[in-house]
Structure 1
Amino acid sequence: MLVLLIAGSLLAPFLAPQGPADSSLADAFAGPSPAHPLGMDSAGRDILSRLLHGGRNTLGGAVIALALALALGVPAGLYAGYRGGWFDAAANWTVDLVMALPAMVVLLASRAILGPNVWVLMIVLGVLAAPSFFRLVRGIVANVRGELYVDAARVSGLSDARIVARHVLTVVRGPIIIQTALVAGIAIALQAGLEFLGVGSGSEATWGAMLNEAFQNIQRAPALLLWPGLALGLTNAALVLLAAALRDVLEDRTGRQTGRVGRRANAPVPPAGAGAVSSAVTGTVPPPRTGTVPPAEASAVPSPGAGTAERADLLSLRGVRVAYAQHDGTDKEVVHGVDLDVRRGEIVGLVGESGSGKTQTAFSVLGILPEGGRLSTGSILVTGREIAGLAEREHRALRGTTVAYIPQEPMSNLDPAFTVGSQLAEPMRQILRLSRKEAAERAVELLRQVEIPAPEQVVRRYPHEISGGMAQRVLIAGAISCDPALLIADEPTTALDVRVQAEILDLLRRLREERGLGVLLVTHNLGVVADLCDRVAVMNQGRVVETGTAEQVLHDPQDPYTRDLLAAVLDSAPAREPWRPRPTRSVSA
């Protein structure tokens, strides 16, 4: 129906029996005839011709208002919601001001100042309608920007524009489609209302002007109201129904996933090492791996505060401090002068309880500190290059290619709107400049490298169709997709069951050996540290209190906090007595 209405309006010069202004007073109020299928109006003008030409003006004016509202509201809402800051505050203030203005009064005032041209009034209406798109988009984007899969996209090296276009627009497109239909209907109704009141340019044929003319002759020819009213009603109904159907088609994939939704593809679990399994289950500390770090190299590890010691070739932190701005204008420091080194082919564990500053330290290396956080002082060298204070554009160039990130909570770090293969291929297409086919082939190969069975099938699945362990492997595959030199793994086994944890640890160890990666492992699990790490740095209240080889720290701790951590491991605690119900006593009357 909408296509017929639009096509009829566009082809009006060819379909209309006569011009919209051609009149013959002798034929006033004439009924339908072969030459004039809908009859004639009070001035002897062909109703069908005026209806077709009126559609051009009415729908054309609505398109102008809608296009301007979209052009002003959607980009501003995307930017304000994603970036925030001063632009968000200024845009919200402006939008509040515009939304406080009564639209009809503003249109009437604009008509008095700018003249009766309906196109000019539609431009004014477009400005008045833009805040509705801004509010809608900004609210959704502000919620989405905190999602873990958006952070994962940033860490993989995608630009903000690419993230917004790929991950954010997919969330707001459905509401935008519905809002577009509503605003288009409002624009058509307001324009028709102005013409009905005689405010518009009465010389041109519009559906509102036809309503005005029909209302003046309602007692003599009430049927004149039928055709413009029917055109307005059908157009608005078709807009709403089409928008709802289009939204459903874009957002609902159940038709394409019949028989697969809800089925989780679990990889077969190979036997895991007993030490890894026991440490993951009970938190016990098995004997640490020895012989991995030469004594000379271990002795070169700087102690806290040793800013002049030899710095590592891959990652070296000296005096790193992270602070957050408070509401009273002061800064709260959460990381206090951290020194840390990671060499090529080495796995370093950053250990501490929750809130000790481990993740904040890792985020300072990645340049993705949460809003309000900043690297206040300190030096961060990555492959010999100072990255402290780098601009976001330069920092982004390091992510994925030099430094990669493996987050915890694997299911939350994958965008539910895209397949596994699509999410793996996107960073490779942007960073490595691979073609679509090359990136798809490399995605399959990466899944094979992280030991996912049937990778050709997995790349076509959505995140909800794979298990948590498989999702973590997908994130690891994404982290190594652009051949980084350093992996930062933030609690990569926390959300996984014990056997899958052991597999992930074996996978990280194998990738280190095959690729020569340096790994900074952020964890609170001392069993994982003993099983995987070459060296350990222990953090407490934002400070590194002890560093050394895994054997030194776990078997001969020097700092009282490290000894407290080890004492909290339940490796020698006696087993609980099995619970037995108490014997019941009978109560005599």
Structure 2
Amino acid sequence: MTTTPPLETAVLVQAAAKRRSLFRRLLTNPQGAVCLVFLLFVVFLGLSCSWLAPHGPNVTDLSAVDASPFSSGHLLGADSTGRDILSRLMWGARQTLLACVVVLVVSVVLGVTSGLAAGFYRGRVDAVLNWVSDVVMSTPGVILLIALYARTGSNIVAAMAVYGLIVAPSYFRLVRSVVLGVRSELYVDAAKVVGLSDRRIVGRHVLWAVRAPVVIQSSFVLAAGIAMEAGLGFLGLSNPAKASWGGVLQEAFGNIYNNKAGVLWPALLISLTVLALVLLGNALRDVLQSSAHSRTLSPRRRRELTRQAQEQRQSTTTDPAAAPAEAVLSIRGLRIGYPDGENSVREVVHGVDLDVRRGEIHGLVGESGSGKSQIAFSTLGILPREAVVLGGSIVLDGKDLLADDQQLRAARGRRIAYVPQEPMSNLDPCFTVGAQLTHGLRAVKKMSKQEAERELLRLLARVGIKDPERVFRQYPHEISGGMAQRVLICGAVASNPDLIVADEPTTALDVTVQAEVLELLRELRDERGLAVILVTHNLGVVADICDTVSVMRDGRIVERSDVAALFESPAEDYTRELLSSARRVEIAEV
């Protein structure tokens, strides 16, 4: 007797739990649940027709010719030969299910396999498979199926297999485009470095990335398979001895003047099934993507937590007079959590208080995962979708931005601006630098395009760009990372905000450009009286530019002080650890 090792057992249990969670999440989606129930009902009717159908597919009742719906013994009526329409639709579901399975299997096997090979290996393999795909796509599908009928007769399996071959290029092009993007990711290179074979890399990393697009494409292919099978039956190319949805529709359409209701049932069944497949594919794609990226709370639990946070804000409204008079922004009791299951939340920011004064550069420093960026993102209202604000307030001019989404939207881009960590990824490669800056400025200020361009060219020169007109016409890939960061700083200050949130703005830059960007932020602060929240893990940056610093650890501010006092005599052990670690790094670099 063999026993399963404990580790393997744990992995199997975890995989089963994940599958159950995925299915449960799909059922909590109203659209997905309704479509799934309908499709399962159709499948059940098709598989159970042998013992549930009132009559056989070709049993005729001459006394019921063109019987109307809900007549005796014929719930949906009968056709021109007295055959029960409900029974024929149930028996025809078998033919439809078979057609769907054949189309899906052939197209997925051929299209996904060739797309993986072309995207991963590229070169000659990609060129040959692309040529084959183009040839297949240029083939007129309906004409090919009609020609096939002349050779094989009404062989629905052969016809649907050929249709699957015709559809396969849609999978090929979709998968190839995704794999081309995934292949250049660093984690794929890392898998090669550790010695994984191409087969394992494709099966473990690349194939996992294409599952969601393949799922949604499969829903369209299944819907197209139903439509094609029904179309062939409607054209009379199916086997007349076997019931099919297209055959029922063809017979009803030919007898429409004698029995108008007969056309309704097959047309309605085909339409609803196609619609349900497409909507189910969209719902399943959303579930797959959400389960791959993060855990999610149940909607009921999220509404409950949001209501509790609103009640807390109402009961503990921040008094504007309690904040320093010179404070631009006051944060009180901010708590942020993330899902740790469908009904549980893991709190990552625990009751943070923070005041940012006008003309002050306030540094938020701490190790990775301490909650620095969570505070910055909550100030901007750009927390991830799965994040939940559990309590607290963010007050700007006496108004709580967390309590009023309209106030937050009105402040964002006008009163509060943002300088991101990755300058190149925050510029759209499809538009020139000038087009993006102009669009952003005109969205928050009422001015003509010419006025906006003049103002932006002046600001580009101010932030140290030597040839503003040339940069204004260039695309993001044509400028350097340091220049891109200056462009983003220009866009941030163009609306003349009161506060700038800079999330590690120098991390992606080299040392000399870092110093220039920091000096630019200091000069803009002095010129415009800006308040700045600077999120960083670099204590050298803090010592160079910040006036005040808050040290964070595990979602809490453990120490707050002037920069000079903090470096001379830190009060907390954790702060001393950070300072000593930074000194050791500096010595090692020297």
Normalising by structure 2, we get a TM-score of 0.49
Structure with bigger helix share is: 2
Higher Cα Rg, which structure:
1
Q: With CA pairs under 8 Å and 6+ residues apart, which has the higher RCO, 1 or 2?
A: 1
